[in-house]
Structure 1
């Protein structure tokens, strides 16, 4: 299963892999080009997008990209911080209000947003059947009983 986790990480672990681009006053610019030309864009209006045009700052939209990659195999779940106060996301205010993420095959928690937007951790894939990963999930995301379908 480690190979599959590495495959998932390669598929969702970078802005480039996720297909993030920037809309700079109507011009589509790749994340790599945006970084290389940052000075050129500093006085312009821009926002980051995912391949479907949705905002690349919204955790739910990242979970949707995972679901789109694995049709019929992904459930998007999340929580409101007040309903999951023991999660590190709530305790540290990593995401105000709450947080959404993807569960693949009822086994893998996939959360690109936590790395790519919040810059909180490098691990974005957790195997819920692995005791070490399950312990990390319990700390970061709280008990699964606090998660609700989105």
Structure 2
């Protein structure tokens, strides 16, 4: 058995970007989730879009409601749906911001990451959904240059 005793807290370099939690919720539970989380986290709603493009949830001919929250716990995107989502949407629980989506996807491909949803543009982002070896699914996005 090994015991480790630390006398100083570890020092990590700050993240360049903050990952966002992606939470899918039904319309009936939206108000309670947002209200309670904002109150608990001392956060704030940074956007509430009633007719976000459905391409973001794999339903390009529809719209849905999207709420973005920021707090000391990080970023959260709340996606309000009826639960009828095409694979792999709804299985990704984290979104990662990168500086260059194309370059990141190239590196990911070399590492064995599968692109499940090819890049698309929406809400000022280029985004794709990927699956890492082992099955972990995530959304990766980069801001669209203005």
TM-score band (shorter)?
0.3 to 0.5
TM-score, normalised by the number of residues in structure 1: 0.34
TM-score, normalised by the number of residues in structure 2: 0.35
Indicate the structure with greater strand content. Answer: 2
Indicate the structure with greater helix content. Answer: 1
Radius of gyration: which is bigger? 2
